[in-house]
Amino acid sequence: MKIFLFLSFLCIASLLQAQDKIILADPEFITGNNDHWKDISFDDSKWKTIRPNILWEPQGYPDYNGYAWYRFHFRLPSSLKDNSFLKDSLRIFLAKIDDADETFLNGEKIGATGSMPEDKEGYIGAYNVTREYHVATASKFLRWDKENVLAVKVYDGGGGGGMYGGHPYIDMIDIIDAISLTLQHAVEKNEVSVIITNQLGININGNLHLQIKDRKNNRTILNKNISLVLSPLKSAYKNIEVPEGEMELSISFKEKNTGKIKSLVYVMPYILTPLPGDVPRINGAKIFGVRPGSPFLFKIPVTGKKPLLYHVDNLPAGLQVDAATGIITGTLSNRGEYKTQVTVTNNAGKAAREFTIIVGEHLSLTPPMGWNSWNCWGLSVSAEKVKSSAQALIDKGLADHGWSFMNIDDGWEAEKRSADSSIYANEKFPDMKDLGNWLHAKGLKFGIYSSPGTQTCGGYSGSYKNEVSDANTYSGWGIDYLKYDWCSYDEVYKKEGDTTLAAYMKPYRVMQQALKIQPRDINYSLCQYGMKDVWKWGNQVSGNSWRTTGDIEDTWESLSSIGFNQDKLFSYAAPGHWNDPDMLIVGQVGWGKPHPTRLTPDEQYTHISLWCLLSSPLLIGCDISKLDDFTLNLLSNDEVLAVNQDVLGKQARRIKRTATYQIWLKELEDGSKAIGIFNLGETYQTVSVNWHEFGISDNEKVRDLWRQKDLGFFKNNFISNVAPHGVKFIKIWK
Ligand code: GLA
């Protein structure tokens, strides 16, 4: 299969000199709303300052939803214009804003994204949209060489609130902005094409610099300068052969007139996970919870040469296993713990392992593993898309590593309910029950999404006042998992005027009761972005997992700010209920417009390693039918996944944090420990894990989990060289 990665939008970073850019820092900040706060003359000296690259809630405004204003004071030097080749427009870059904004420069409105509750359209959030407003340099309200005030009015409809996702700045739109650098990578050929496009109607002259470095030994393999004249509206192409290994490619274009540079760095995807062998290997959860009387469905995940023959000893009466597929079905009426022995054989050998079934009240005894439509398809999900990812989950072998849930997120619901108020699906899902049967026959689980409000976040029917009816409908369709997303419940909550914790918990309690009376098990996933410390009470409403943050996206900023901020929650994770830092962002993601993830290969290794250490639910967020070999390598490493599925169910703790690296440790059932050594810096770092610092005894045996390779005994410490934004993921034991 040919896989091309189009990377133009991935890692382009403009290397502008400091004097070409005004960094907008330390704004004055206040909650509330007043039209005068846009005026340049307004005195904001009594306001507090805030960081404009991090949401306001973690900065001393917990649970604050509603209006707030930021005011940035800055000098606008005319040298900014003088140093620019093109002199027409200023760019005001604000990164992202949760949820809607109106932005004013010296009192004049220069842009708005989303809309405010008082607007004609009513409130429309746009938390995920990058704000970049342009202002003509001829505008009368600009105050060159004097103080200017940029005022940003924000309305937060729920969640973290405010500016985030990057550092705001102002610069000139220049000739370098007309250059796009695109990289096309035919993975299996190890060849990269660089495409340099001139989007202006004039010639652009400059120098293209190409460099390839072997990251293992820091050796430069290629270092080449090419002088280019780019014709108007034309592209130039350069093909580069890249040798095997951990290669890093740096490409930059320096425009001749201004000396401004556009550049990108691309790390070639490198595969660490060894391919599974022919001999059977039993993977996935070693324990499974079911309620008495509920339909039982579990497919034993096994790698190895097909055909495989499955056998289970001591399977309790009421259950049967299909010898050819390894799917266990049936029902169990008596509570208790049942220890079974699974044996799988093929013509290359045999594997055996214990598998425990607990009949009681608890589901999700290990974190759920599966797929969810949102990060890939957004609201454009359809039954066809679910089926094609499900089929690929099986065909590409992911089901053999324990991936089983196929969860439809928002976008499946019909606009209106039926006359008797029942929920039904829109035309993209012609037959939900049939889809459920189709998934179950393959040993897969079926998940769905709703909101306790009148509407979901995507504007579809929510379950408000229809909770029991909806739960009954889900049950009839064979649903195994419900993600229940706060969204418009904020309106109900505000109308009721009760701000107690009980009022926050109420909608989740109502659905808890509705699910409890169903004749099947439905995993309950709470989604309300971590409000009111949900980890402290999610268990009381029978949540099997709870989102601890706002929505993730496929950037290092988003991944690292979410993932590395979960340390305080470690004690709330346990078998049956898990902290959920949101779904995976590897592979083809894009919320309706799929593109290759913008994370570098190292960042993707960090993502999967950290989510496994955090005992987080693992929900693949990409189009599995387009899975490339690198992403498959990330999702099919059984030793890495075993850290996530460990039956002890502990969440890792951060045991060391410096400005540039962190060490996280998770205790495992067999007495061993999984350790993630994460480099949060921009250059390679040598990090030493000193056993005595962490109460670990001398002489530990170390295994590299990604490479599945023993590294030997280490007496006092383990020293490793970790790639920028990358990880060394090891297991240690006596
Ligand atoms: C919220 C959730 C997302 C997704 C969307 C669907 O933003 O946090 O995970 O479910 O709603 O509209």
Q: Domain locations in the chain? A: 18-172, 175-267, 281-359, 369-599+610-628, 654-733
- Supply the pLDDT for residue 6: 40
Q: For residue 551, indicate whether it is catalytic.
A: yes
The mean pLDDT value for 538-552 works out to 97
Q: Which atom of ligand 1 is nearest to the CA of 456?
A: 12
pLDDT digits (tens, 9 = 90+) for 92-104: 999 999 999 999 9
Q: CA 253, CA 353: separation in Å to the nearest integer?
A: 57
- Supply the pLDDT for residue 218: 86
Q: Is the CB of 493 under 6 A from ligand 1?
A: no
pLDDT digits (tens, 9 = 90+) for 32-91: 999 999 999 999 999 999 999 989 998 999 889 999 999 999 999 999 999 999 999 999
Q: Is the CB of 580 under 6 A from ligand 1?
A: no
- Supply the pLDDT for residue 3: 41
Topology match between the domains 175-267 and 654-733: yes
Q: Compute the mean pLDDT over every residue in the chain, rounded to the nearest whole number.
A: 94
Q: CA 664, CA 359: separation in Å to the nearest integer?
A: 33
What is the number of other CB atoms lying within 10 angstroms of the CB of residue 220?
Answer: 9
CA atoms in the 13 A half-sphere facing the CB of 583: 25
Q: Is 615 left (phi over 0), alpha (psi -120 to 50) or beta?
A: left
How does residue 19 score in pLDDT terms, banded at 50, 70 and 90?
low
How does residue 10 score in pLDDT terms, banded at 50, 70 and 90?
very low
Interval between CA 562 and ligand 1 midpoint (Å): 16
**Closest residue (by CA) to atom 1 of ligand 1?**
457
The mean pLDDT value for 339-360 works out to 98
What CATH number should be reported for the domain whose range is 175-267? 2.60.40.10
Interval between CA 485 and ligand 1 midpoint (Å): 7
Q: CA 707, CA 631: separation in Å to the nearest integer?
A: 15
Q: Is 12 exposed, middle or buried (0-12, 13-18, 19+ CB in 10 A)?
A: middle
Q: Which atom of ligand 1 is nearest to the CA of 550?
A: 8
Q: Which SS3 state, helix, strand or coil, does residue 14 take?
A: strand
How does residue 187 score in pLDDT terms, banded at 50, 70 and 90?
low
Q: Is the CB of 527 under 6 A from ligand 1?
A: yes
Catalytic residue among 171, 470, 485, 602: 485
**Closest residue (by CA) to atom 8 of ligand 1?**
551
Q: Is the CB of 551 under 6 A from ligand 1?
A: yes
How does residue 681 score in pLDDT terms, banded at 50, 70 and 90?
very high
Residue 720: phi and psi, rounded to 5, are: -140, 155
pLDDT over 70 percentage in the chain: 97
Q: Which helix (H) or strand (E) holds 367?
A: none
- Token pair of 575, please? 């078998």
The mean pLDDT value for 374-378 works out to 97
Q: Is the CB of 457 under 6 A from ligand 1?
A: yes
Catalytic residue among 171, 470, 551, 582: 551
What CATH number should be reported for the domain whose range is 369-599+610-628? 3.20.20.70
pLDDT digits (tens, 9 = 90+) for 547-557: 999 999 999 98
Q: Is the CB of 92 under 6 A from ligand 1?
A: no
pLDDT of 357 above 80:
yes
pLDDT of 17 above 70:
no
pLDDT over 90 percentage in the chain: 91
478 to 232, 297, 325, 461: CA distances (angstroms): 58, 11, 20, 20
CATH number assigned to the domain with residue range 654-733, chosen from the 4 options 3.40.50.970, 3.90.930.60, 3.40.50.11540, 2.60.40.1180: 2.60.40.1180
Ligand 1 pocket: which of 372, 461, 485 to mutate (most atoms within 8 A of CB):
485
Q: For residue 485, indicate whether it is catalytic.
A: yes
pLDDT digits (tens, 9 = 90+) for 251-274: 999 999 999 999 999 999 999 999
Interval between CA 377 and ligand 1 midpoint (Å): 12
528 to 214, 248, 451, 538, 630: CA distances (angstroms): 44, 40, 10, 11, 32
- Supply the pLDDT for residue 188: 67
- Supply the pLDDT for residue 15: 36
CB 599 within 8 A of CB 554: yes
Interval between CA 169 and ligand 1 midpoint (Å): 29
Domain 281-359 has CATH 3.40.50.720: no
Interval between CA 621 and ligand 1 midpoint (Å): 12
What CATH number should be reported for the domain whose range is 18-172? 2.60.120.260
Q: Which atom of ligand 1 is nearest to the CA of 529?
A: 8
Q: Is the CB of 639 under 6 A from ligand 1?
A: no
What is the number of other CB atoms lying within 10 angstroms of the CB of residue 172?
Answer: 25
pLDDT digits (tens, 9 = 90+) for 652-668: 999 999 989 999 999 99
Residue at token pair 């109502």 = 510
The CA angle 294-300-304, to the nearest 5 degrees, is: 170
Q: Is the CB of 642 under 6 A from ligand 1?
A: no
Q: Which atom of ligand 1 is nearest to the CA of 458?
A: 12
Interval between CA 591 and ligand 1 midpoint (Å): 10
Residue at token pair 């007495």 = 671
CB 722 within 8 A of CB 684: yes
Q: Is the CB of 410 under 6 A from ligand 1?
A: yes
> What is the pairing mode between strands 673-679 and 481-485?
unpaired
- Supply the pLDDT for residue 69: 98
- Supply the pLDDT for residue 139: 98
Question: Whole-model pTM?
Answer: 0.84
Q: Is the CB of 485 under 6 A from ligand 1?
A: yes
What is the number of other CB atoms lying within 10 angstroms of the CB of residue 654?
Answer: 18
For 340-378, b where at least 16 C-beta lie within 10 A, e where not — what string?
bebebbbeeeebebebebbbeebbbbbbbbbbbbbbbbb
Ligand 1 pocket: which of 376, 527, 547, 582 to mutate (most atoms within 8 A of CB):
527
The residue length of the chain stands at 734
- Supply the pLDDT for residue 186: 72
**Closest residue (by CA) to atom 11 of ligand 1?**
457
- Supply the pLDDT for residue 335: 98
Q: CA 104, CA 120: separation in Å to the nearest integer?
A: 20
Q: Is the CB of 613 under 6 A from ligand 1?
A: no
- Token pair of 397, please? 């072998």
Q: Which atom of ligand 1 is nearest to the CA of 449?
A: 10
Interval between CA 685 and ligand 1 midpoint (Å): 36
pLDDT of 568 above 90:
yes
Q: CA 445, CA 619: separation in Å to the nearest integer?
A: 13
- Supply the pLDDT for residue 244: 86
Q: CA 294, CA 344: separation in Å to the nearest integer?
A: 26
Q: CA 320, CA 331: separation in Å to the nearest integer?
A: 9
Ligand 1 pocket: which of 380, 488, 551 to mutate (most atoms within 8 A of CB):
551
pLDDT of 541 above 90:
yes
pLDDT of 8 above 50:
no
Q: Is the CB of 98 under 6 A from ligand 1?
A: no
Q: Is the CB of 409 under 6 A from ligand 1?
A: yes
How does residue 361 score in pLDDT terms, banded at 50, 70 and 90?
very high
Q: H helices then E strands: how many in the chain?
A: 11, 47
pLDDT digits (tens, 9 = 90+) for 216-246: 888 999 999 999 999 999 999 999 999 988 8
Residue 229 gets which letter from DSSP? E
